[in-house]
Amino acid sequence: MVLIPAIDIINGKCVRLTQGDYSQQKIYREHPLEVAKEFEAAGIERLHLVDLDGAKAGAVQNWKVLEEIATHTKLVIDFGGGIKTESDLNIVFNSGAALATIGSLAVKSPLVFSEWIANYGADKFLLGADVKGEKIAVSGWLETTEISVFDFMQQYIDRGMTQIFCTDISKDGKLEGPSLELYQKIITQFPTLHFIASGGVSCMEDLDALKAIGCSGVIVGKAIYEGKIKI
């Protein structure tokens, strides 16, 4: 199981939100590059970089931070937040991201995302499934759909997607433990999927539990910044 630290960016700074709420933000570090270098020095190879300004604006904003980290580290970076057009997608790839993280677009514009998969290859994307009670949520989690997480994943696995991460909104940023039951169901249904858990991780025991049920990776944010998990 691969540990993937998250760096969330607002105004070029490293922050964390609680349950995706922009009014509940805490700035942890002024310089994301320093954080990324510390991760790399500790042996971390992957990084989950989220442009929260971009997610809010509906267009990529913090690509300079991506470029800086990609230039000065060897981390394999997935970058998401506000990728809605092909020009944004190209900015992300040209700035050094190995993978583009796609969430709401895959729900709201499946034809566009399917076209991108066909043109760029499924291995260039990390699909994010944000969930509330096994239903997909979109638009910065403000809106819950009637789409089942299982149907959503199946739709894109059929198109060649192999890497998908799932965030249970009710757990995110609360350090109360991950949604083991939900993740177990997903892994049982899609045994060949490179499944990445996200949200709620609070301690090393949570990582052990996620590994035990067969997660291929885990995205960890607040637990690292709050010192609950030492890289």
Mind listing the domains of the chain with CATH numbers? 2-225 (3.20.20.70)
Q: Which residue in 95, 94, 41, 42 sits closest to 69, CA to CA?
A: 95
CA distances from 3 to 9, 132, 187 (A): 19, 24, 18
CA distances from 157 to 12, 122, 123, 129, 138 (A): 34, 9, 12, 13, 19
pLDDT digit string (tens) for 163-185? 999 998 888 777 889 999 999 99
Cβ–Cβ under 8 Å, residues 85 and 103: no
pLDDT exceeds cutoff 70 at 140: no
- What confidence category does residue 141 fall into, taking pLDDT thresholds of 50, 70 and 90? low
Residues designated catalytic: 8, 130
pLDDT digit string (tens) for 24-60? 889 999 999 999 999 999 999 999 999 999 988 999 9
Cβ–Cβ under 8 Å, residues 40 and 74: yes
Which structure tokens are listed for 215?
Answer: 């997660």
β pairing state of 163-168 and 194-198: parallel
Backbone angles phi, psi at 94, to 5 degrees: -70, -25
Q: Residues near 199 by Cβ (< 8 Å), separated by ≥ 6?
A: 167, 168, 169, 171, 172, 173, 178, 179, 219
Beta-carbon neighbour count of residue 55 at 10 Å? 24
End-to-end Cα spacing for the chain: 15
pLDDT digit string (tens) for 51-94? 999 988 999 999 999 999 999 999 999 999 999 999 999 999 99
Backbone angles phi, psi at 228, to 5 degrees: -75, -30
Please tell me the pTM assigned to this model. 0.94
Collapse the DSSP code of 70 into the 3-class scheme (helix H, G, I; strand E, B; otherwise coil) and give the result.
helix
Q: Which residue in 118, 5, 4, 12 sits closest to 63, CA to CA?
A: 12
- Amino acid at the residue 156: Y
